[in-house]
Amino acid sequence: MKFLTAFVPGLLLLAACGAKTDTDAATGTGEMDHSGHAMGEDSKAELTEAQAAYKAANDAMHAGMADIPADPDVAFMQGMLAHHQGAVAMSEVALKYAKDAQARDLAVRVIAAQEEEIAEMEAWLKQRSGK
């Protein structure tokens, strides 16, 4: 019974988020539904300048994360590199448009932390490729 108590709420959460179930995997349709992440696609309203900037950063990040190499170490580093670069880009957008001091402060700190890790990942990838 403990298993069901923990398992059923998780299934409900996955279903609510649009995730595919084992049944979907068995039929070969195991892709996750990310339509809930769409920004402005269903809306006829124009994006604000800030929204457009966030969308561009988000799109670039996801494009960078789309190529997944077979080597799990390289896949991790490349995916996280694109993710961190996206965090920096979004933080730069925040610095341009955000008014809240706490949001701006966090953006500054995110840039500093992510740039340090970006350098580490780039060095690792360069060493790994031998270039």
Residue 18 lies in a domain: yes
Q: Is the pTM of this model over 0.85?
A: no
The verdict on 79 and 24 lying in the same domain is: no
The verdict on 70 and 103 lying in the same domain is: yes
The verdict on 57 and 90 lying in the same domain is: yes
What is the tally of structural domains in the chain? 2
Distance (Å, whole) CA 48 – CA 53: 9
pLDDT by 10-residue block (mean), the chain, 131 residues: 41 38 43 50 77 96 94 96 97 97 98 97 93 66
| Longest CA span, the chain | 55
The verdict on 22 and 62 lying in the same domain is: no
Q: What is the span of the domain harbouring residue 122?
A: 47-129
pLDDT at residue 43, rounded to an integer: 53
pLDDT at residue 3, rounded to an integer: 41
Residue 116 lies in a domain: yes
- DSSP character string of the chain: -HHHHHHHHHHHHHHHHT---HHHHHTT------GGG--SSS--SPPPHHHHHHHHHHHHHHHHHH---SSHHHHHHHHHHHHHHHHHHHHHHHHHH---HHHHHHHHHHHHHHHHHHHHHHHHHHHHHT-
The verdict on 124 and 62 lying in the same domain is: yes
